[in-house]
Structure formats: C-alpha cells, structure tokens
Amino acid sequence: MSVASISERAAAVPHAAPLSDWIAARQARFEQFVQAHLLAEEREPRRLHAAMRYAVLNGGKRVRPLLVYAAGEFAAAADAALDPIAAAIEFVHAYSLVHDDLPCMDDDVLRRGKPTVHVAFDEATAMLTGDALQAEAFRVLANAPVPAETGVTLIRDLAQASARKACAAARRSIWPPWAFR
C-alpha cells in the first residue's frame, strides 16, 4: 500500500466522535463479546470457569483489543470479525499473567489491586486456568467469521507470537541456557 493510499484511507475515516468515545464503545463491545463467549460459572467445571472469568474480566485497559479494533477499522474489517481476534489476543495475555503470577514464577499476590488467581482460587486452579485460556484463545479464533484461509493464518500467527520463545523469553532467568537453543 502506498503512502498516498494510506493517507487517503486515513482521511476517509470519520472522526466525528472524540477518541474517548471510540475507546469506551470498543471496550464495551469487547466486554460484551467476552462475557458471552467465556463459559458461565454455573457450567462444569465451575471452579475453572469462575477462575477463567476472574482472570479475564478483572479489569484492565484492554489495550490489545483496542489495537485490534483500530487496525481493523483502518482496514475496513467488520467488527464481528474483529471481536474473536481481540478476544484471542486478550486470552493469551491473561493466560500469561496468570502463569506469571504463580508462586513458581513471580509469586505475585495482587493484580490490578485484586488477589491473583492462585490466591483467589488455588495454585492448581490457576495453572489450569492459564492453560484453558490459552486453548480458549485458539478455539475462539478458529470460530472467527472469516474465510478459512484467513482463519488458518490468524491461528498460525497467534501460535507463533505466543510460542515458547516468545512467552518464555521474558523468563530467561529461571530457565537453563540450553532451553532457548
């Protein structure tokens, strides 16, 4: 895409509403999508579903979903196609936070001013919550209303971005050097 076409496309995007309105609308849309797609706490296994909801719906600025919506808006993508992409990225982010907070990692007891998942539930539930959120990210992405080829590309890109070297790289201090060869 040329610089001229990028400028033309940017100029065509309506800017009538303040940025704060756009952010609030996208955050609300995202929260509604996630509320509808995470299994209810009443479904078995209840404790796991409650912990997943606690980890994802426990506040946050939603910067990653906002970036997805902004890029999608620029590319003229439908919001319905962007919702699962935003959720998948946020689920991977939440899973990484849940695991990072565990006693075997940083042993944090608070996240966003609230007890971390392993404190609010227990360590085993926190481990399973992180694992389930990672799997849920790929499930929701696999069901995105996009062409099959696009879906495969999205899944591959998310897998590469969250692969062992990407997520574990920040934790190099606890792993032996041979783990990164």
What is the rounded distance in angstroms from the CA atom of residue 129 to the CA atom of residue 134?
Answer: 9
pTM of the model: 0.83
Give me the mean pLDDT over the 105-127 stretch: 93
Question: What does the chain look like in DSSP terms, one character per residue?
Answer: --HHHHHHHHHHS---S-HHHHHHHHHHHHHHHHHHHSPPTTSSSHHHHHHHHHHHSS----HHHHHHHHHHHHTT--HHHHHHHHHHHHHHHHHHHHHHHSTTTT---EETTEE-HHHHS-HHHHHHHHHHHHHHHHHHHHT-SS-HHHHHHHHHHHHHHTSHHHHHGGGGGGS-GGGG-
Average pLDDT score over the chain? 87
Portion of the chain with pLDDT greater than 90, in percent: 68
What is the rounded distance in angstroms from the CA atom of residue 55 to the CA atom of residue 130?
Answer: 9
Residue 119 confidence (pLDDT)? 96
**What is the CATH number assigned to the segment(s) 19-170?**
1.10.600.10
Which tens digits make up the pLDDT trace of 8-55?
665 666 555 789 999 999 999 999 999 999 988 788 999 999 999 999
Which tens digits make up the pLDDT trace of 74-104?
999 999 999 999 999 999 999 999 999 999 9
